[in-house]
Amino acid sequence: MIEVGIVMGSNSDWEVMRHAASMLKRFGIACETRVVSAHRTPDLLFQYAEEAAPRGLKAIIAGAGGAAHLPGMLAAKTPVPVLGVPVPSRYLRGEDSLLSIVQMPKGIPVATFAIGEAGAANAALFAVAMLAAARPELAEQLVAFRREQEQTVLAMTLPEVE
């Protein structure tokens, strides 16, 4: 069963959003990926949002650049938690996207993550944590992942000073 939707405004956003899909795959969480444009396909956006909960989605990770209306518009049309990922833009490096996503009005929340690949991966990890609240085996995988992260840092060395 597909539990997480990953949507983006354009296929050019895939280079960033694939990091979310990759992270979910690592945890064995089924996801779907789609291009849904807030501006060019608003009817599709509304349909996707309205059908998300009945189809069993537990979270939607939405990546958007520029005006970045996709995450907010999805959140306005579905009770499913929306995790927003600002995609770097050509002229403002994604800062415009970040501000657009994070500045949601009171009552329509969008969890907002860092700009780019780290944000996409962290949005997926956040979705994993949400799902793990009700699934002990997933919680164990998440703990093991964090231990792995810890071991990676503990194994790091620095070069000698010359």
Which segments of the chain have a pLDDT < 70?
none
Residue-level pLDDT at 147: 98
Could you report the per-residue pLDDT of 89-123, keeping only the tens digit for each? 888 999 999 999 999 999 999 999 999 999 999 99
The answer to whether position 115 is within a domain reads yes
Residue-level pLDDT at 99: 95
Residue-level pLDDT at 67: 87
- DSSP letters spanning 5-17: EEEESSGGGHHHH
Please answer whether residues 32 and 5 qualify as being in contact, where contact means their C-beta atoms are separated by less than 8 angstroms: yes
Local structure of residue 113 (DSSP, 8 states) = -
Per the structure, the count of domains in the chain is 1
Is residue 93 annotated as involved in ligand binding? Answer: no
The answer to whether position 12 is within a domain reads yes
Q: Which helix (H) or strand (E) holds 155?
A: none
The answer to whether position 161 is within a domain reads no
Domain that holds residue 28: 4-155
The answer to whether position 162 is within a domain reads no
Is residue 10 annotated as involved in ligand binding? Answer: yes
